[in-house]
Amino acid sequence: AWEKTASVEFKNLIPGIKRCVVVGSGKGGVGKSTVTANLAIAMAQRGLKVGLLDSDIYGPSIPMMLGLKDSPLGTPDGQIMPLEKFGVRVMSMGLLIEEDRPVIWRGAMLNKALQQFLKDVAWGDLDVLFIDLPPGTGDTQLTLIQNAQVDGAVIVSTPQDVAFLDAKKAIGMFGTVKVPVVGIIENMSSFICPGCGQETQIFGHGGVRDAATRMKLPFLGEVPIDLAIREGGDSGQPLVAAHPDSPQTKVFQDMAKAL
Ligand code: ADP
């Protein structure tokens, strides 16, 4: 299902992967990395061989979310071994650079680094590789799509109009490069007060599902604002791994099944 467009050249620098799914969003802070980490773990719990590549070179958050600190080891033939956590093989630029050192690169350098990075990771055989994209529709997204055989894109958005407006641009970008959108997720969908049980729709609710239906794109599910999700991200123990019986874990498991 890989069609070339006239103006863009495509290569596949990561062979041996059955399915490559990128996760994107229109803007930052909507929970894209949180959702990707939990989806990847839920997928691994189903017995699949899962990889997770954090491609956000400027603000890699996957290592912290998964509690990874060790530097990856090299292989005898000069590749880098991904780290394994919660059954998922993980690689992030954040594991290769010092934590508090900012990366200051121009576009050309970033593209080269990303291509090298794609080639250099010894993923082994994978059933699915998730690539956590930086927010937006910039250089990194295009470089990745051109250099990995991307089978589908998942889009994460909050229900807020401004967030979905940006998400629509990301959807448009995937359309242009002929990557099918295989799922749209509404994150921070509502909040249930742990004290009184009342549901409050902080960013609104349901707008993303409606928009997905209108655009005839598959809607994967709604993830509420949940303290355990935020705590899981900050402590390096994502919800799906730390709280297997939580109703929100079930939401991620159902989405992983549908993907
Ligand atoms: P992005 O990757 O889109 O920039 P992150 O995944 O880094 O966003 O999430 C931003 C912050 O919001 C993190 O602190 C994360 O723990 C928190 N967060 C994300 N989704 C939820 C949720 N459903 N409930 C509570 N906190 C969340």
Look up the pTM and report it.
Answer: 0.92
Tokens of 222: 């709604």
Q: Cβ contacts of residue 79 below 8 Å, gap of 6+? A: 120, 121, 122
Mean pLDDT is highest, among 74-78, 144-148, 242-246, for 242-246
Using CA positions, which residue lies closest to atom 19 of ligand 1?
Answer: 31
pLDDT tens for residues 17-56? 999 999 999 989 999 999 999 999 999 999 999 999 999 8
Separation of CA 249 and ligand 1 centre (Å): 15
Percent of the chain with pLDDT over 70: 94
121-134 mean pLDDT: 94
Q: What is the ipTM of this complex?
A: 0.99
Does 30 carry a binding-site annotation? yes
What's the CA gap between 233 and 236, in Å, rounded? 6
Give per-residue pLDDT as tens, 157-193: 999 877 788 889 999 999 988 999 999 999 999 998 8
CA 155 to ligand 1 centroid distance, Å: 14
- CB 45 near ligand 1, within 6 Å: no
Domains, the chain, ranges and CATH? 20-258 (3.40.50.300)
